[in-house]
Chains A and B, each alone.
Chain A
């Protein structure tokens, strides 16, 4: 399985944008990039996913490098409620026609008031 590398932790100030990086140098052409986050005392929740083009939704934006070897999850205006562990995950949509998610260690995001 293609692996992802994320910083262990990051800090950001409230109401400022946050850029969470993810490296995936061995990504294959059919790997989608997914992001999930886990708030304290909750199960993970889906944030966003993409293949090649940048993606936006109500929660965040996903910026994907042209060579797809890295991506960045962007929270446009962080709030204290965004403090969570963020997981960057690769899923091969051609072969992974199942619901098995391989989670890494993720990035623990701290938001400073």
Chain B
């Protein structure tokens, strides 16, 4: 079974631009969560989607948004990029909400210049 895939793996953007990152969960998994990882703040929860609905949201500004499609694939969008948005963005999927085990993708490394 293929793991969680994220595209692109690396991205360079300039301040003020917007970016869309994609996540394909493990086949059959319906829950997708997103995390931001930076050296200073560590791993921080962004949001969680289940059945195309956002179920949970972390403490991030409204510039960060996401969505989930009927095939459980998910995208996250960051508008008006700031230098501080440079980070590794990780996606995780699980078979159902509250599963003991979540499966993480390799992440998308976003650099904002």
Residues of chain A having any CB pair with chain B under 8 Å: 32, 34, 41-46, 49, 87, 93, 96-106
- Is the CB–CB distance between B102 and A46 below 8 Å? yes
Contact present for A98 and B97 (CB under 8 Å): yes
Chain A residue numbers with a CB within 8 Å of B103 are 45-46
Report the stretch among B11-19, B61-69, B78-86, B104-112 that lies at the interface: B104-112
In the complex, whether B42 has a CB less than 8 A from a CB of chain A is yes
Q: Do residues B42 and A105 form an inter-chain contact, with CB atoms below 8 A?
A: yes
**B102 contacts A103, C-beta separation under 8 Å:** no
Q: How far is the CB of B64 from chain A (nearest CB, A)?
A: 15
- Contact sample, A vs B, 6 pairs, CB 8 Å cutoff: A44-B104, A45-B103, A93-B98, A98-B97, A99-B92, A106-B42
Does A99 contact B43, Cβ atoms closer than 8 Å? no
A96 to B42, CA, bound (A): 21
Asked if B48 contacts A43 (CB within 8 A), the reply is no
- Count of CB-CB pairs between chains A and B under 8 Å: 66
Known contacts A43-B92, A44-B90, A103-B43; decide if A96 and B106 are in contact (CB<8 Å): no
Known: A98-B56, A99-B48. A49 touches B43 (CB 8 A): no
- Whether A99 and B104, one on each chain, are in contact in the complex, defined by CB atoms closer than 8 angstroms, is no
Contacts of A41 in B (CB 8 A): 106
In the complex, the answer to whether A46 meets B101 with C-beta atoms within 8 Å is yes
Assess the B33–A100 pair: CB atoms within 8 A.
yes
* A105 to chain B: closest residue by CB: B42
Give which listed residue, A46, A96, A103, contacts B98 with CB less than 8 A.
A96
With A32-B100, A44-B43, A44-B90 already in contact, the answer to whether A99 and B33 are too (CB < 8 A) is yes
- Chain A residues near B45 (CB, 8 Å)? 100-102
> Are A99 and B42 neighbours in the complex by a CB distance under 8 Å?
no
> Quick one: given A46-B102, A49-B100, A93-B98, are A98 and B43 in contact (CB under 8 Å)?
no
Residues on the B chain within 8 Å of A49, using CB: 100-101
